[in-house]
């Protein structure tokens, strides 16, 4: 019986050693917080004018509702699953009221030209907002507010912005 228990504990311990680096690797990849707080444009897709406008709207949302929104663009998140990365970024940057979990992270990952087959728009919604922003509403927001720009991306001369959509 003792031998069996020791074997089970050894398996659990080895499993934790294998999983723990993966958990910390995602947090290590989240870049340091830049200003404005509500826009983290690490792929250089958003103009400074648009960043300022988004920051004003983010501050107004935070002041009026105790909710936060973070728009984050990345050149690549590596092989980290997009869902995990978006939630990890939200936790790392403390997006949303921590007591009620009222935060939204919108992640746009370019994936360096689709290197890891991980290009995405991922929206992570805190538990406190799941009733307001369910999957159907988030999908409609992406379709209505992002896809029209994706369709126009081929008309730009900016190769980096084209990569964001294709």
Q: Please state, rounded to an integer, the average pLDDT across all residues of the chain.
A: 78
**32-165 carries CATH number 1.10.150.110:** no
Higher pLDDT: 16 or 114? It is 114
Digit-coded pLDDT (tens) for 105-137: 999 988 876 778 888 899 999 999 998 999 999
Say what the pLDDT of residue 49 is.
94
| Domain segments of the chain as ranges | 1-30, 32-165
What is d(CA 41, CA 132) in angstroms, rounded to the nearest whole number?
26
Using the predicted structure, report yes or no on whether residue 84 has a pLDDT greater than 50. Answer: yes
Nearest to 120 by CA among 165, 87, 158, 79: 165
Q: Is 40 exposed, middle or buried (0-12, 13-18, 19+ CB in 10 A)?
A: buried
Please provide the distance, in angstroms rounded to a whole number, between the alpha carbons at the two ends of the chain: 58
């Amino acid at each position: 019986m003792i031998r069996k228990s020791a074997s089970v504990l050894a398996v659990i311990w080895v499993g934790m050693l294998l999983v723990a680096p993966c958990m910390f690797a995602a947090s290590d990849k989240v870049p340091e917080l830049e200003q404005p707080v509500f826009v983290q444009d690490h792929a250089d897709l958003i103009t400074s004018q648009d960043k300022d406008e988004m920051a004003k709207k983010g501050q107004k949302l935070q002041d009026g509702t105790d909710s936060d929104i973070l728009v984050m663009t990345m050149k690549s998140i590596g092989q980290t699953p997009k869902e995990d990365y978006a939630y990890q970024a939200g936790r790392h940057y403390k997006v949303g009221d921590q007591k009620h979990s009222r935060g939204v992270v919108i992640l746009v990952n370019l994936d360096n030209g689709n290197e890891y087959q991980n290009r995405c728009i991922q929206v992570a919604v805190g538990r406190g907002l799941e009733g307001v922003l369910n999957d159907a509403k988030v999908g409609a927001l992406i379709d209505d507010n992002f896809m029209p720009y994706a369709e126009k991306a081929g008309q730009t001369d900016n190769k980096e912005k084209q990569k964001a959509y294709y």
